[in-house]
Structure 1
């Protein structure tokens, strides 16, 4: 994927997404010993960066495909993102969700216009139901993270950040399914000045860390993390980009994630979800690497269950 594809993508989705603010905190900078610039995708439409990829993927469909709708399987932010993007573009969105998903998430998807179809809480059941929708309605399947158009869309957040601060030494993102870090790494490569991309990942779900070492996509046996948005694994479309352009993945503990989340809430005065805090936790864990450097952080989202705060 080349530079022009990112430029075209950014122009295409501009009318449908927010150019989110970039915040700084002198107190966090002093604590870390670096200049940090937070790209606040928690202020994005539907509250997360995933709106970018969802909008781009739908915009790239043919008229016939749009008329038949789109389908995905997700119980998280992509379910809401695809629903809202589809609604704004006059396209039907079928969202396959596990029947164990919280009611608040199902309600949010319906609120954004998505048609919720429930299934057993297994990947096999999700994929089978998604295939049924494709066969029955002719809907186009859009993967939450392992799709070229989604990856390009997610990369536009880093493009906007580098337009503000072109001299960043690093950009740090959380790593879950790999769409955000792959898109970010492409943007940092094409639009940064020797800007390195680093990922933050919970120790409990460190498949990307292990995949970078082994050179093949690894899986997780545990999904025991507060960072619920990072329980998915890398795919064959984003993993080669990650291998080529991502410098390193730093693993963090659950305690470090909660401490970083609290710091963001207290010092930046913004709501971020646990998955977002993983990037800051990685910087705090490895302060020496980032000392006296300019570092961009993608705050990936702010869709947090306020009744279950970890502090």
Structure 2
């Protein structure tokens, strides 16, 4: 490991985290801990609720349960390490640990891009082809789509990992961030990173822009179909379902594309860190709320679950 530029190979990195806010350390720790515990509770709770309640065994909630599980894994790939580092004097991470953290985090992020696009297609099938919905979105197709998005996300991240491992790091080894992400690693590289920069941009286009285009086209057809609905209640239900998904899409892709579509530089790393807090910590916490607050079916499922728990307690 080295601190300055020389011919040695970096064997570990130093994560600065939020060390530039020493007076806020305790406050930030409490806030991030509370956010993480809320995220884990809400996402796992929604996942379990959907799995337990047979009334929610539909394609829409099947995809939503996978989004909740994905968000739980997503936030857990970064936040526990970040929380532990608040009380570490030397916030070091091995080179292999750093690249593996990036691979897991990146895989989950790319998978979520694909999953949000798949959820948009599901809404398109439900609203534009209601009579054929159950035959179009068969259980087999839903499982195939889920397996496909996970494989695609892992494969996209693996390509970037292989390219990253070809880059030389000889110092400095200080990462001004709270986890190992590609833009921060590219700034520290000693060898030419042009191809990896291009690959980062291409992956952002393939997974980000392409997913957004699929979502926009789907919602273009959905919007046209909603306008043809004569029932005010039908329009309201369709709009509420779509509004939740569009809100989640806007938050996730807006912050993600901000980071991965521009070239990495020292000047942008401070903004990247703030945006990273939003899409790695805040968005996974907000997603279950976005999908649940105005969702009558989930509220009804919660009431049924509460009744079952109370009746079970009284039976004892």
TM over 0.5: no
Q: Which has the larger radius of gyration?
A: 2
The structure carrying a bigger strand percent of its residues is 1
TM-score after normalising by structure 1 = 0.22
The structure carrying a bigger helix percent of its residues is 2
Length-normalised TM-score, structure 2: 0.22
Greater relative contact order, per chain length (Cα 8 Å cut-off, separation 6+): 2
